[in-house]
Structure 1
């Protein structure tokens, strides 16, 4: 082997050793950080699983408290779940129990407090809250809440709000839109047809037969 090749290898080796010495701390730190990240991720997954199981247990407990009509305990349980994935379901169940027990204002407060992350559940909360507000004589607030409703239940509730305020034409329009989105055979369909008839409208079936 030529002397210049030996010198090149020696120089390369020295460069490698020097680079290792200069970057050893960074290399070790990177390995430690990588291990920490892996361990941290596993810990986080385990923590999340434990938390989900705890929340599921609390949700089951709340169901038992509602069944036993112990709404004070149910409310306390619901408060401890307001930040978890069960928060919206808990609020809906608790509000229903409160309303059925004659505690409408408590039910309104329960639904006002929940902040659903899911669009579908948000629509359900909004529609139920609007109906409670209608029952409380707050049709104006219910109408504002349902201003952009686009599902059958929301449109039907908005029609009810318009009707409560004496807006028969707007109520008829909302009932008609809700009916168009409701499948044949749905229990909601018959209710909407009756409401539409009360405000002088006619269902698509009635129109077809005329």
Structure 2
């Protein structure tokens, strides 16, 4: 048995030597490529983290100094939205849109919200932007566009809020039955008690 073990070990050793002789260069190249890929991945992750921190700092700075009566601060935030293609740019679009709405500049509010939608892949953030955009589009007397925007809202957490806005839009279009149906759907959804009570009050106005 011992002889068998010794012979087996020698065979294995020779096989390993032969393997590295035949494949040594390929293994070396593969190792170099693997290390390069790992280094590149870590560099990319660090780069993304640094960019996110820079975007966060810039967002905080611009939003904290934003003033409706200061055109320069509005332009600075608009420039940030234009150039920062991250969720911080999308968040900034919400802040900037509110400023435009307060100034009754609904066209620019809609434009900046549409831009914000393109800058984030986060479903919840996109839902918030679409809810705001639908309100603005309704105010711009474009109810069909507003309803289409609401159709794109994803996530059960937003169903109730979308239904409330949909009801308001349909009511403004003169579709009382559609509005009532939307609010009934919203009341059944997962939404805060305050919003449910608001929709119930709207429904009660039809009785």
Q: Judge same fold: TM > 0.5, yes or no.
A: yes
Distance 2:66 2:164 in 1: 28
What is residue 133 of structure 1 aligned with on the other side?
137
1:65/1:71 contact within 8 Å kept: no
The 3-state SS of whatever aligns with 1:117 is coil
Tell me the CA shift for residue 17 of structure 1.
4.6
Higher relative contact order, structure no. (Cα contacts within 8 Å, ≥ 6 residues apart): 2
Distance 1:120 1:67 in 2: 27
Distance 1:13 1:144 in 2: 70
2:143/2:169 contact within 8 Å kept: yes
Tell me the CA shift for residue 93 of structure 1.
1.4
1:139-176 C-alpha deviation (Å, 9 max, x unpaired): 12212322466612110111111111110011011122
Which entry has the higher C-alpha Rg, 1 or 2?
A: 1
What is residue 102 of structure 2 aligned with on the other side?
100
1:98/1:104 contact within 8 Å kept: yes
Q: Does 1:145 align with 2:152?
A: no
Q: Does 1:197 align with 2:204?
A: yes
What is residue 51 of structure 1 aligned with on the other side?
51
What is residue 72 of structure 1 aligned with on the other side?
75
- Inter-CA distance 14–169: structure 2 relative to 1 (3 Å threshold): closer
Consecutive unaligned residues in structure 1, runs of 5 or more: 202-210
2:113 to 111, 115, 121: 111
Tell me the CA shift for residue 18 of structure 1.
4.7
1:78/1:90 contact within 8 Å kept: yes
Flag the structure with higher helix content: 2
Instruction: Give the root-mean-square deviation of aligned CA atoms.
Output: 2.8
The 3-state SS of whatever aligns with 1:86 is helix
- Inter-CA distance 148–48: structure 2 relative to 1 (3 Å threshold): closer
- Inter-CA distance 172–24: structure 2 relative to 1 (3 Å threshold): same
